[in-house]
Amino acid sequence: MDNPPEDEDSAMLRSRFLFCMLLCSVGALPLAAQSSAPALAASHRPRRHFRFRYAVVISNPHPGAQLRIWIPAAHSDRSQRVRVISATGSLPLRLYRQPEYGNRVWYAQTRRAPAGKLRFNFVYDVLRYRDDRLIGRAAPAARIQATALPLSVRPYLLPNRLVPVNGLPARLARAATAGQTTPLAKAHALYAYVLHHMTYSKTGTGWGHGNALYACTAHHGNCTDFHSLFMAMARSQGIPVRFYIGFPLPSHQDGGLIGGYHCWVNFYIHGLGWLPADISEAWLHPRNARFFFGNLDANRVRFTAGRDLVLRPRQQGPPLNYFVYPYVERNGRPDAQVSDRFHFHDLAAPRTASLARRKLSR
């Protein structure tokens, strides 16, 4: 998911451009008509059952230093059921729940670090469901969408350090949503705008930080850049958006190493609730671009939510831009001598899940 294509030829780029133009033209279609996939009961949603291993090694060339270690933890939510198989480490571990976004964090500390390397290993059993929130559902009436937002979602209208809600992103959002009269139609127009104007590419410098202003001008980046631009534009239009991050699972592999993280967003529409979107996956898999507005596949595992994170126990360093890799402080300062490794393998799964993954990928 967060692994870019090596070299896209000009024909592929042209096909993406034409598809994005087509997507922009279908925003007025009823939601039930935007996907041919059938609506499934919650107990029969396509799913993926796997073991996920998160391994961390902290180099410690300065024995006796004070160390504090935070490692994100996978946990259950509407779309995944997580069971901790094992959690082991060179130091005692404690699991904390973060009050702001509900994240879970493994925490360890020592006043005098031992010599050598510190190792931590976490193994999770994960049952991840496909999130079919928008398939087969009709758009709520405009009067329902226009109802005042609940207080609980209003914090997701606020800016983050790299996600402003005014200035250039707001100007672009006003132009992209001109003529749209409902929040759902505006959200779809912004999804199409980002899909059309961004290119998935890890070239040059500046990508990967989730900087919406960078995305506005560079027009390329990875999943954090795609979704930060959408967050800034949507929030400027009064649409709450929250940020999720975890790891991708290749759709055609039953196991192996995972090279890096993947992120996506949820946006709030009154009358429908929180709906997911994955714009970078839509760019990489244009045949599924309609699906990824309001729905998600099961080829992922979520770890944390939010941006500008203040951890519990509180770190001495600044808030974290996002949190998917370990964070370590040595004598009160951020420490970068950390390596990590991520591995998954599928467990026995119902045949329907395998068929559903194949169908979605075609």
Could you tell me which of 277, 362, 344, 279 has the C-alpha nearest to residue 55? 344
Q: What percentage of the chain carries pLDDT values higher than 70?
A: 84
pTM of the model: 0.86
pLDDT tier for residue 349 given thresholds of 50, 70 and 90? low
The mean pLDDT of 2-23, rounded to a whole number, is 43
Output the pLDDT for position 145.
92
Among positive and negative, which fits the CA dihedral 86, 319, 208, 289? positive
For 193, other C-beta atoms within 10 Å of its C-beta total 21
pLDDT in tens, 20-77: 444 444 343 333 333 333 333 444 678 999 999 999 999 877 889 999 999 999 999 9
Q: What is the Cα–Cα distance from 78 to 154, expressed in whole angstroms?
A: 21
Alpha-carbon gap, residue 103 to 244, rounded angstroms? 10
Q: In the chain, what are the domains?
A: 10-29+131-303 (3.10.620.30), 48-129+318-358 (2.60.40.2250)
Mean pLDDT of 293-318: 97
Distance CA 299, CA 49 (A): 10
Q: What residues have CB less than 8 Å from 91, skipping those under 6 apart?
A: 67, 69, 108, 109, 110, 118
Q: 325 with 258: CB under 8 angstroms?
A: no
What is the pLDDT of the chain when averaged over all its residues? Answer: 87
Tell me the percentage of the chain whose pLDDT exceeds 90: 79
Look at residue 277 and give its three-state secondary structure. strand
- Mean pLDDT along residues 337-356: 75
Task: Decide: helix, strand or coil at residue 214.
Answer: helix
In this prediction, residue 18 carries a pLDDT of 43
Per-residue DSSP letters for 10-67?
Answer: HHHHHHHHHHHHHHHHTTTS-GGGS--SPP--GGGS-EEEEEEEEEEEE--SSTT--E
End-to-end CA distance of the chain: 16
How do residues 164-195 score in pLDDT, each as one tens digit? 999 999 999 999 999 999 999 999 999 999 99
The pLDDT score that the predictor gives to residue 86 is 98
Q: Residues 280, 226: contact at Cβ < 8 Å?
A: yes
Q: Which long-range contacts (CB under 8 A, 24 or more apart) does 146-149 make?
A: 146/182, 146/183, 146/270, 147/270, 147/271, 149/238, 149/240, 149/268, 149/270
Q: How confident is the model at residue 13 (pLDDT cuts 50, 70, 90)?
A: very low
Residue 291 pLDDT > 70:
yes
Structure confidence by residue, pLDDT tens digits, 247-262: 999 999 999 999 999 9
Which pLDDT tens digit goes with each residue over 128-140? Answer: 999 999 998 889 9
How far is Cα 7 from Cα 276, in angstroms, rounded to an integer?
29
What is the pLDDT, as a whole number, of residue 336? 83
Q: Which one, of 208, 216, 156, 209, lies nearest residue 190 by Cα?
A: 216
Q: CA–CA separation, 352 vs 26, rounded Å?
A: 30
Per the CB < 8 A criterion, the answer to whether 249 and 321 are in contact is no
Q: How large is the average pLDDT for residues 101-114?
A: 96
* The pLDDT of residue 287 is above 90: yes
